[in-house]
Amino acid sequence: MYHTWWDPELPEAITRAGREGRILAYHVNDLLVATGDLLMERGLPGERVIDLESIGGFVRDAGDRGLTEVEVFSHRIWKHPPDRILADCVAPIVQGQPT
């Protein structure tokens, strides 16, 4: 989502890709407003900007039933133990805010 969330044609592109069987993976992460490194400082789902709930709906509506992969490149996040990172990824879903 990091590279495509802003595209106004994203819903149509997702629909077309689903119709053609070209959705191979759904990777989620978030954009941080204040970042010093656009490549290596991404946010966990739900941290800031990207409407992952709506985009995830487009992906599901397009027929994708595969796994959703959290793909976060972040030196800030990598400093934490993996179990904490996983808990932070799951927290929005448990709190009723699906991503």
Read off the pLDDT of residues 58-82 as tens digits, 9 standing for 90 and up.
999 999 988 889 988 999 899 999 9
User: How many domains would you assign to the chain?
Assistant: 1
Please list, in sequence order, all residues whose beta carbon lies within 8 angstroms of the beta carbon of residue 93, skipping any fewer than 6 positions away: 99
- Spell out, as residue ranges, where the chain has pLDDT lower than 70: 93-99
| Rounded CA separation 60/56 (Å) | 6
In a domain, 5, yes or no: no
Q: Is residue 21 included in any domain, yes or no?
A: yes
Alpha-carbon distance of 38 to 46, in angstroms, equals: 17
Which domain, by its residues, includes 33?
A: 10-94
99 in any annotated domain: no
Opening angle at CA 91, ends 7 and 74, nearest 5: 55
Q: Is residue 32 part of a domain?
A: yes
Model-level pTM?
0.82
> Is 3 inside a domain boundary?
no
Residue 72: count other Cβ atoms within 10 Å of its Cβ: 23
